[in-house]
Amino acid sequence: MRAQLACLSWYCLLAGVSAVRMIKTHFPSHVVMGKSMNMTCDYDPEGERVYQVKWYKDDNEFYTYIPGSSAKTYDTTGMNIDNIDMELSGAKSVVIHDVDLRMEGRYGCEITMDSSFDTVIGVGDVMIVALPQRGPNITGLFLDSMDEGDRVWVNCTSYRSRPAAQLTWYINGARSDNASLRWYPEPVDPSGLRNVTLGLDFRLRGSHFGSTGLVMLKCTAEIQTVFYQSANVRIVSRTMAMRSPFGKGSALALSGSSASLLLLLLLLGLRCLSGG
């Protein structure tokens, strides 16, 4: 089809202005696997009668609309013609339901006039996206409470998608610098789906905890404009928690005399409650 389209374009240039004018085209750049795909070629025949409208995938014709006749479909690689919605498809659009990974590729429409055989074309690339079944997962070397100087070594993994998700690490809302990131190979399963892992390796500083005593780690997974999810890890400053009598994991240290006084008060309280 590319050679054909190129020849048609040169013909139009040599023959003058075509009697048919393409107004706009719509080929979705990304379609989620299992969803529907609507492709449109909106044209103005400039008063002339349309002879036929052909649709191609990767140079192979799969659908033809002829005014006044039944539309035709053709078996071709990567296209399940049973998924073409014949009621919604017509003179200017084709609707395909339940798309799969094989349907990724370059699509084109070709509109031909009846008497002049002038032709106009539209072309667009479509990527089929397989979304991860769940959000990113964080694993690694970290504790709920840690201290300045401790090493944090965590991995964020997004499973089974196509293309691989784009992972990003944030520390307290700020994007991590590349020096702290660790990249790993991306395994591909037989179905073409990818797992991707991005590591984060750094030592905690006092500035990480700030005045709150908390470090917030966040990993985001994105695929173009069709998928976004995140996972979080919260690390508490062990030192600040120990200093606070109400903090998580806090400890209350008492001198010997204070402990004896506390024990005496507890015994007196129990005696009062028993009525003795």
111 Cβ neighbours under 8 A, 6+ residues apart: 20, 22, 41, 43, 45, 50, 52, 53, 119, 120, 121
Per-residue pLDDT for 266 more than 70? no
- Residues 77-118: tens digit of each pLDDT: 999 999 999 999 999 999 999 999 999 999 999 999 998 889
137-243 matches 2-129 in CATH topology: yes
- Predicted pLDDT of residue 274: 52
Return the CATH number of the domain spanning residue range 137-243. 2.60.40.10
> 188 φ, ψ to 5°?
-120, 130
Q: Which residue has the higher pLDDT, 123 or 276?
A: 123
Q: Mark out the alpha helices in the chain (DSSP H runs).
A: 2-15, 206-209, 238-243, 256-274
For the record, the structure tokens of 131 come out as 């979304």
Averaged pLDDT for residues 181-197: 92
**Residue-level pLDDT at 128:** 96
**SS3 label, residue 243:** helix
pLDDT value at position 19? 72
Q: How confident is the model at residue 76 (pLDDT cuts 50, 70, 90)?
A: very high
Residue 15's pLDDT is: 42
Span 8-52, pLDDT tens digits: 343 343 344 557 899 999 999 999 999 999 999 999 998 889 999
User: What mean pLDDT comes out for the span 181-199?
Assistant: 93
Q: What are the extents of the domains in the chain?
A: 2-129, 137-243
**Mean pLDDT in the chain?**
85
Q: Is the pLDDT of residue 121 over 60?
A: yes
- For domain 2-129, the CATH superfamily is Immunoglobulins (2.60.40.10)
Q: Is the dihedral of CA 63, 24, 114, 11 positive or negative?
A: negative
CA distance 135 to 157: 9
